[in-house]
Structures are given as C-alpha cells and as structure tokens.
Amino acid sequence: MSGLRRTYLVLAAIGAVWPMWHIVRYLTGEGGTLPGMVALWLANDATRGLTADLIVTGTALTIWIVAETLVRKNWTALIAIPATFLVGVSFGLPLYLFLRTRAVT
C-alpha cells in the first residue's frame, strides 16, 4: 500500500472517530437527544452556515462518487456514499479517496 493510500486511510479513521466521539459524548450526556442535536445544528447563523456547508459538500461528493463510479466501474467506492451521510464528510471523502486510488481490475 502506498504512502498516499495509508494517509487517506488514517484520515478516514480519524474522520470517523473524532467527530463521532463528540456526538456520542453529547448523546450520552445529561439531556443529550437526537432532536436536541439537530436543533443545535440550526441554533444560530454560524451553525446553520456550517450545516449548509456540510450538506452541499456531501451532495457534491455523492455526485462525484456516482459519476466516477460509472466511468471507472469501481463499484466498491459506492460504500463512501452511506459513509458520508451516516458518519460525515470527514469520513466519506478520505474513504472514497482511499478506495479510488486502489488498482481497479
């Protein structure tokens, strides 16, 4: 495995664990709920801007993944779509780059 692929894999692991650690801490903390977390995403202009940024980024990444998968026939790379929307862009993007840089047969 090349150094670049290892870097993508490490970033995917960090992008999965670090944000989820904060989310789990919030949800298991006193009064943490999923509806409460969603409300915090829309609590003020700063968080609404960040939420919109992540939605647009996740959508653009999804379109890119689908378009490249249709050309490259790297069907395994499609797993990065649910990874992006279930965990986050910080996991989905480096995971996709990791999967994209492998040899396709």
Which pTM was predicted?
0.87
DSSP label of 30: T
Q: Does the pLDDT of residue 103 top 80, yes or no?
A: no
Q: What secondary structure letter does DSSP report for 33? A: -
Amino acid at 94: P
Is there a contact between 61 and 54 (Cβ–Cβ < 8 Å)? no
Q: Judge whether 12 and 91 are in contact, CB under 8 Å.
A: yes
Q: What residues have CB less than 8 Å from 104, skipping those under 6 apart?
A: 72, 73, 74
* DSSP 8-state secondary structure symbol assigned to residue 105: -
- In whole angstroms, what separates CA 8 from the centre of its chain? 13
Asked if residue 95 lies in contact with residue 12, where contact means CB atoms within 8 angstroms, the answer is yes
Residue type, 24: V
The pLDDT tens digits of the residues spanning 16-58 come to: 999 999 999 999 988 889 899 999 999 999 999 999 999 999 9
